[in-house]
Structure 1
Amino acid sequence: MIFSFILTLLVGSYNPTFGLRTTEILWDTYGIPHVYGKDAQSAFYAFGWAQMQSHGNLILRLYGQARGRAGEYFGEKYLKSDQWVRTMGIPVRARSWYNAQNPKFRQYLDAFAAGINTYAQQHADQIDEEAKAVLPINGVDLLAHTQRVLNFTFVVDPRDLAGISDKAPSVGSNGWAIAPAHSASGNAMLLANPHLPWSNLFLWYETHLTAPGINTYGAALVGVPVLAIAFNDYLGWTHTVNTHDGWDAYELTLSDGGYRFDGKVKAFETEEQILKVKQNDATLRSEKLVVKRSIHGPVIKGKDNKTVALRVVGLDHPNVLEQWWDMGRATNLTEFETALKRLQLPMFTVLYADREGHIMHLFNGLVPVHSQGDFEYWSGIVPGNTSTTLWTKTHPYHDLPRVLDPPSGWLQNANDPPWTTTFPQVLNPDKYPSYMAPRSPMSFRAQRSAKMLAEDEQISFQEMIKYKHSTRMELADRLLDELIPVARESNNSLVRRAADVLQTWDRQADANSRGAVLFSFWVNKIDLDESFAIPWNEKSPLTTPDGLADPKNAVTALNAAATIVEKSYGALDVPWGEVFRLRYQKIDLPANGGDGNLGIFRVLDFAPTSDGRFAPLEGDSYVAAIEFSNPVKAMALTSYGNATQPKSQHIGDQLKLFARKELRQVLRTRQEIQANLVKREVL
């Protein structure tokens, strides 16, 4: 009797035969919510509750921005954001997207919103007063936020285009899929490794979702109600930002109050809106916004004061969230591709692996069908005065570059075009439209990625994790062997000492690497586009570019870099981690990893701080390493922690693991979760 009572306490209300009688969230020691829903709708409700508990202030601000009312809620600094959101038509389109949802899935969205609202009501003391103005949330808000994130941040970036900020953060990723033939265990493996800014709408939220028909672990972009990168007992996938042309800018020729199109003057669609802007005294100021649309799409003032219309893919594809949800419920490749073929997701490469041993690379996205021009042409501003440039259709699934089970046994993407996903190459770019993806140089990070996979014929799970943390600078291997001898012949003693430091350097950006700082400062002093004696060659993608084009200028740049490093840090061989720091909230640790342009696989992009050091802005964010054994083996890390709420203990609590190049074991069984349980909530 006593044993039965204790067992009931341990497993809660879970019954393996009949499922859950209640819905609960089990919170582990790293603030990961393990959601157990009695049904799918209850799981969405609990997921909304969990996100609010971890990121409440942030997601309310994001939803306010997606409504185009952030200026009304939060003040003047959000005015440009509201102008962008309203001009792009996000709030109105979100309502039409909501109405277009499958009725059952619409209930799921409403449940997620209800979880947010109920948490905010019951824990009002945990939410900023200013953020409460956005409440209550509804399903339309979720779709507006999703649309703002995907179509109007990732597909087309307003921060550079519309002047919302001076510098748009970089977004990128690494992804690997390894077949059984290339795996030491004989099981397929997957590496998920997005590189996004460590703030705002780019944050990942790590979660375990369980309900009848689904048991999926992964990460959602904060505020999004489904997992975007995930795995289950049968399969998994990751995304990388692909070289995808999902929007086009059309320069309009103004005439007689309208614009010229096919020899005639067309009138703009014009709508006047009023934006409310909160003032310092809490009163609201009215700001008029005139929204214009051409046949191409919404009109903005582009660079050089040109009148430009934007045409963006995916605005008539409202079911991306349901597609992601169904990808997470799939149990085999056929089911997974059935979801993918809907092409609701407007961009992102898909790298996939499963228990049956399949691996796949899909250059996923909505690619416009053009009658002319290559990728470079469509990356610029195109004439908007003729129907010959106006696309109306996108390519179907079977037109997209796709590789399944390649002879190499491995697939990779590090934001390079799909042609270099594996070697020997499987995809021939000549067989695809020239606008599908660029035939540009393979980045040094992508080259390092492919080399690590190609050079190890039997990769173990632990080796995959080790390679994931590699800070080797591929760029150093291309230039140092020529730079060092030339520098040693210099009459300048500082340059000769710098050469000695570079000679003994391990060519990595580990915290204790001496010489990495000097090398990175030297790279910032040269023009990489003009520095190589041998340019990149499509026929030798993994060994070019190579060699120094101008050794004299390289030595001059080394002198300048050495002068700065010695003056700023007291030594030419200052350790990397003394200069590059993991600073996040109150945490300050030595960093490892660096700029992907240096050919580093473990990416961290830094910004200078007031004391001459550097702190991370973006880079390695969510990481998951999965082996499709039975049971599945998985390890993960959310670099900056799984929360942003001010009183949370999980802000930055995973950075110590990050600094040690470690991942955490993923907890998926109730026994594992109970052994690491901090809190249980029954909803």
Structure 2
Amino acid sequence: MFPYAKRFLALFLSTIIIVLAAFNLPSLSANKTEILWDTWGVPHIYSKDTPNLFQAFGWAQTKSHGNLILKLYGQARGKAAEYWGINYLESDQYVRTMGIPERSQKWYQEQSPQMRQYLDAFARGINDYVLQHPQEIDEELKLVLPITGTDILAHLQRVIHFHFITNPQSVSSLQTIAPQGGSNAWVIAPKKSVNNKAILLANPHLPWSDFYLWYEAQLTSPGINLYGAALVGIPVLSIAFNDHLGWTVTLNPIDGADIYQLTLKDEGYLLDGEVKKFETKTEKIKIRQTNGSYTELQIGFKKSTHGVIIAQEIDKAYALRVAGLDHFHGLEQLLEMGKANNLEQFEEGLKQLQIPLFNFLYADQQGQIFYLFNALVPKRSQGDWDYWQKIIPGETSETLWTDYHNYEDLPRLANPKTGWLQNTNDPPWTSTYPSILEAKNYPTYLAPPSLEYASNILRSQQSIKQLNESDKLSVEDVINAKFSSKLLMADRILEILISTTKALANPIGIEAAKVLEKWDRQTNADSRGAVLFMLWAVTLESKGIFSRPWNPQNPLETPAGLADINTAVGVLEGIAA
């Protein structure tokens, strides 16, 4: 594995290509922890024991992104306005309302003694770096110091539960709004690989900023040899490979957060015909002023059986219920998965279900490939996927979920005959094609029912078609496919757009048609046709582009056709002018 890993090191954060063979380790000093930085700024950390490994990883992350990490931890404490002023008040209100600071303390106490030791070591590495290199950190950010293990868990909880499972936009609008970004992942079995070895493609698509930033590293100590990436400020790798296996993650469409509408009565709310009292509490948020003084804002919280109250009207209130807040061993699960030697051991880690979302795609040295739609899926007594995307009636406990589906209930697939697995944030039913997993065999609320619900159906279809139509793939083939800039939308509608525009014979339209005719349907940086087509598509999108909607009888070729030809041509001429 090591020759390939080194060869493609620079591609990791946009693409990880792993050919699963063995790689060798440098010899370790018995009493030494060291960090070797490669030419790409990636730390390779070698330690005599795991606590020192975590400490060095915290130190290395702080060297690379210290200011960002301290800011993120300050926000996760719900004290950013106290440190940096009123611009962070909204963030603090969200964090406090969601109960992140208090819950993170409970999470810390629930960690195993060993995991608390690792968290404290990672925090110590952060503090040590700032102490040793104070000039590298902005003075205003040092207000957050010292960092503790609790801060790390608060940051983890803020990111995973309150920006991926739900997010401030969904909470404020009382509707489901998908988080930013997305990802692609491929797993190729040896039977479909030129070198007869499994290939894993990890291609995360997250914004290159804030808590979405990936941090690449190699971590080595007795019993651990991992290369991969963690979200910045997180002490464990989320995407990684070891001597025996590798895995990646993509964001999956799950319903892990529900908003309940409550009927208010007598200063409480109705549940099963009885009036229930709210739990209430108040907190003070300190706000730093420009002159260095502070003001205080007192905020109150209400909590129902369903969850925290996020909005209230005269006779209604809205409560948020989030899955997984009682599952706090996600970091330990990831660490255990990273120590696995084979699929059986890897699945033992997955079965803990401490990580509340993300697809996992896996390949190993033995040639096995695997896909899991991983999620803490609430057990619900009624309703399908569409029902649970809406505001849920909260007057009856019939809609109030209290437990989760177990591992055996989740869609998963090992070693399909097709020789490949993929995910592009689409539902699990198209993890390979022709489909093996079928929505009809699972609860209707577990996941979206079809490819039509994919966050970007054309991206998903292109991924499936590339894999389905290819023969054996080499590593180079996989890289080229990943970096392909071909637009599937152009294949669907470009010919009719060009022919209709030419037929109308308007001079500006004819010039635009000539540009599109010469275009190779690739979005390269120097492509005039790509710029013209994309401006046209973005402008037209709100009006509807396709005339034929997605059809389950033709799932990889629809939607297609041009909905309103006259409008389409008019928009093209307007863009060209």
Q: TM-score, normalised by structure 2?
A: 0.92
* Separation in structure 2 between the aligned mates of residue 174 and residue 303 of structure 1, nearest angstrom: 42
Q: 1:162 aligns with which of 172, 176, 199?
A: 172
Counterpart amino acid of 1:501? V
Aligned match of 1:491: 505
| Contact 1:161–1:303 (8 Å) recurs in 2 | no
The yes-or-no answer on 1:262 pairing with 2:272 is yes
* Separation in structure 1 between the aligned mates of residue 274 and residue 234 of structure 2, nearest angstrom: 44
* Separation in structure 2 between the aligned mates of residue 181 and residue 146 of structure 1, nearest angstrom: 39
Q: 1:358 aligns with which of 359, 365, 368?
A: 368
Aligned match of 1:144: 154
The yes-or-no answer on 1:464 pairing with 2:474 is no
* Separation in structure 1 between the aligned mates of residue 57 and residue 232 of structure 2, nearest angstrom: 11
Residue 534 of structure 1: CA displacement? Answer: 2.1
| Contact 2:34–2:46 (8 Å) recurs in 1 | yes
* Separation in structure 2 between the aligned mates of residue 353 and residue 547 of structure 1, nearest angstrom: 38
Q: What secondary structure is seen at the aligned counterpart in 1 of 2:435?
A: coil
* Separation in structure 2 between the aligned mates of residue 19 and residue 397 of structure 1, nearest angstrom: 41
The yes-or-no answer on 1:278 pairing with 2:292 is no
| Contact 1:216–1:232 (8 Å) recurs in 2 | yes
Task: List structure 1 segments (4+ residues) > 6 angstroms apart after TM superposition.
Answer: 302-306
Q: What secondary structure is seen at the aligned counterpart in 2 of 1:525?
A: helix
Aligned match of 2:428: 418
Residue 111 of structure 1: CA displacement? Answer: 0.5
* Separation in structure 1 between the aligned mates of residue 299 and residue 553 of structure 2, nearest angstrom: 52
1:122-144 Cα offsets, whole Å, 9 max, x none, are 11111111100000011111111
* Separation in structure 1 between the aligned mates of residue 136 and residue 571 of structure 2, nearest angstrom: 53
1:392-432 Cα offsets, whole Å, 9 max, x none, are 11110010010111111011111110111111111111001
Residue 302 of structure 1: CA displacement? Answer: 7.6
Aligned match of 1:122: 132
Counterpart amino acid of 1:450? I
Counterpart amino acid of 2:469? E
Identify if the C-alpha distance between structure 1 residues 362 and 76 changes in structure 2 by more than 3 Å, giving closer, same or farther. same
Q: What secondary structure is seen at the aligned counterpart in 2 of 1:377?
A: helix
Trace 1:172-211 onto structure 2 (pairs within 5 A).
172-211=182-221
* Separation in structure 2 between the aligned mates of residue 480 and residue 80 of structure 1, nearest angstrom: 45
Aligned match of 1:331: 341
Q: What secondary structure is seen at the aligned counterpart in 2 of 1:301?
A: strand
Trace 1:215-230 onto structure 2 (pairs within 5 A).
215-230=225-240
Residue 304 of structure 1: CA displacement? Answer: 12
* Separation in structure 1 between the aligned mates of residue 167 and residue 161 of structure 2, nearest angstrom: 9
The yes-or-no answer on 1:296 pairing with 2:306 is yes
* Separation in structure 1 between the aligned mates of residue 85 and residue 170 of structure 2, nearest angstrom: 22
Counterpart amino acid of 1:107? Q
* Separation in structure 1 between the aligned mates of residue 474 and residue 315 of structure 2, nearest angstrom: 55
Counterpart amino acid of 1:263? G
Aligned match of 1:543: 557
* Separation in structure 2 between the aligned mates of residue 540 and residue 302 of structure 1, nearest angstrom: 45
| Contact 1:270–1:292 (8 Å) recurs in 2 | yes
1:481-530 Cα offsets, whole Å, 9 max, x none, are 21111111013111111111111101111112220111111112224774
Aligned match of 1:389: 399
* Separation in structure 2 between the aligned mates of residue 302 and residue 38 of structure 1, nearest angstrom: 55
Q: Which runs of 5+ in 1 are unaligned?
A: 1-13, 564-683
1:161-207 Cα offsets, whole Å, 9 max, x none, are 3379xx98622100111100111110000010111111111100111
* Separation in structure 2 between the aligned mates of residue 495 and residue 255 of structure 1, nearest angstrom: 64
| Contact 2:537–2:545 (8 Å) recurs in 1 | no
* Separation in structure 1 between the aligned mates of residue 303 and residue 117 of structure 2, nearest angstrom: 33
Identify if the C-alpha distance between structure 1 residues 168 and 269 changes in structure 2 by more than 3 Å, giving closer, same or farther. same
| Contact 1:247–1:312 (8 Å) recurs in 2 | yes
| Contact 1:65–1:81 (8 Å) recurs in 2 | yes
Q: What secondary structure is seen at the aligned counterpart in 1 of 2:433?
A: coil
| Contact 2:171–2:310 (8 Å) recurs in 1 | no
Residue 463 of structure 1: CA displacement? Answer: 0.8
Aligned match of 1:524: 538
| Bigger mean CA deviation after superposition, 537-546 or 133-142 | 537-546
The yes-or-no answer on 1:317 pairing with 2:331 is no
Identify if the C-alpha distance between structure 1 residues 55 and 163 changes in structure 2 by more than 3 Å, giving closer, same or farther. farther
Counterpart amino acid of 1:299? I
Counterpart amino acid of 1:42? N
The yes-or-no answer on 1:55 pairing with 2:65 is yes
Aligned match of 2:571: 557
Identify if the C-alpha distance between structure 1 residues 462 and 303 changes in structure 2 by more than 3 Å, giving closer, same or farther. farther
More relative contact order, 1 or 2 (CA 8 Å, 6+ apart): 1
| Contact 2:167–2:179 (8 Å) recurs in 1 | no
Q: What secondary structure is seen at the aligned counterpart in 2 of 1:26?
A: strand
The yes-or-no answer on 1:104 pairing with 2:118 is no
Aligned match of 1:632: none
| Contact 2:80–2:92 (8 Å) recurs in 1 | yes
Q: TM-score, normalised by structure 1?
A: 0.78
Q: What secondary structure is seen at the aligned counterpart in 1 of 2:557?
A: coil
| Contact 2:278–2:302 (8 Å) recurs in 1 | yes
1:332-377 Cα offsets, whole Å, 9 max, x none, are 1111111110000010011111111111111001011111111111
* Separation in structure 1 between the aligned mates of residue 538 and residue 92 of structure 2, nearest angstrom: 36
* Separation in structure 2 between the aligned mates of residue 382 and residue 210 of structure 1, nearest angstrom: 48
Aligned match of 1:31: 41
* Separation in structure 2 between the aligned mates of residue 305 and residue 506 of structure 1, nearest angstrom: 59
Aligned match of 2:85: 75
* Separation in structure 2 between the aligned mates of residue 22 and residue 445 of structure 1, nearest angstrom: 47
* Separation in structure 1 between the aligned mates of residue 314 and residue 186 of structure 2, nearest angstrom: 41
| Bigger mean CA deviation after superposition, 523-532 or 170-179 | 523-532
* Separation in structure 2 between the aligned mates of residue 255 and residue 228 of structure 1, nearest angstrom: 46
Counterpart amino acid of 2:428? P
* Separation in structure 1 between the aligned mates of residue 227 and residue 86 of structure 2, nearest angstrom: 39
| Contact 1:161–1:302 (8 Å) recurs in 2 | no
Counterpart amino acid of 2:567? N
Q: 2:519 aligns with which of 505, 525, 535?
A: 505
| Contact 1:20–1:36 (8 Å) recurs in 2 | no
Identify if the C-alpha distance between structure 1 residues 387 and 27 changes in structure 2 by more than 3 Å, giving closer, same or farther. same
Counterpart amino acid of 2:477? E
| Bigger mean CA deviation after superposition, 226-235 or 168-177 | 168-177
Aligned match of 1:569: none
1:250-274 Cα offsets, whole Å, 9 max, x none, are 1121222111211122111000101
Q: What secondary structure is seen at the aligned counterpart in 1 of 2:514?
A: helix
* Separation in structure 2 between the aligned mates of residue 496 and residue 430 of structure 1, nearest angstrom: 49
* Separation in structure 1 between the aligned mates of residue 127 and residue 140 of structure 2, nearest angstrom: 15
1:91-130 Cα offsets, whole Å, 9 max, x none, are 1111111111111111011110111111111111111111
* Separation in structure 1 between the aligned mates of residue 549 and residue 435 of structure 2, nearest angstrom: 20
Identify if the C-alpha distance between structure 1 residues 243 and 277 changes in structure 2 by more than 3 Å, giving closer, same or farther. same
* Separation in structure 2 between the aligned mates of residue 424 and residue 546 of structure 1, nearest angstrom: 21
Aligned match of 1:380: 390
| Contact 1:220–1:226 (8 Å) recurs in 2 | yes
Trace 1:342-357 onto structure 2 (pairs within 5 A).
342-357=352-367
Aligned match of 2:249: 239
The yes-or-no answer on 1:476 pairing with 2:490 is yes
Q: What secondary structure is seen at the aligned counterpart in 1 of 2:283?
A: strand
